[in-house]
Amino acid sequence: MALIDFRNFLNTAKTAINTATPDGENTTLGSKADVAATSGDATPFSSIALLKGIFNKLANTLTVQVSGSKLAEQFTQTDAAANVITFTGDINAIEIYHEEATWQTFTVNGIILTIPAGGYRTPIAGTVAKTVTIPAGINCLVGRLV
């Protein structure tokens, strides 16, 4: 839905640019200076005016959801069965922590990640799954993020 709204906005902006707009008249982008900014005129502050117009238009049409930053579940190596940790939900973002001297290999959603000591957090693609394969014999924390 936001893409359609953005296309409508661009079409409205194009119409505003292609028509003569008297000074001070309200348009989608604001004033005549905003329209001039989009047509290549070097009006001072015109880029700022254009950005403000775009921001104001998009502020009410886009829905943004932050994901991959909230811990939903966390397990350790003691929760693993045959070196596999199983979460209750699909893994779209992961956080892995270990203190081993060498980099360790973890498999998440069919993707092999080689992780250094310390924390590592990333969104993850691949074939979405609920399991993480961990290296044998290490201590680690593995978290599913939402």
| Tens of pLDDT, residues 64-103 | 666 778 999 999 999 999 999 999 999 999 999 999 999 9
Write out pLDDT tens, residues 40-51: 444 545 666 677
pTM (whole model) above 0.75: no
Domains of the chain, each with CATH number or no CATH = 2-59 (no CATH), 71-145 (2.60.120)
The predicted structure's pLDDT at residue 69 = 84
Helix axis angle for 46-59 and 2-18, nearest 10°, is: 140
The predicted structure's pLDDT at residue 19 = 53
In this prediction, residue 119 has a pLDDT band, given cuts at 50, 70 and 90, of confident
Residue closest to 75 by CA, chosen among 142, 145, 146, 144: 142
In this prediction, residue 131 has a pLDDT band, given cuts at 50, 70 and 90, of very high
Residue closest to 129 by CA, chosen among 91, 96, 93: 91
Instruction: Indicate whether 62 pLDDT > 70.
Output: no
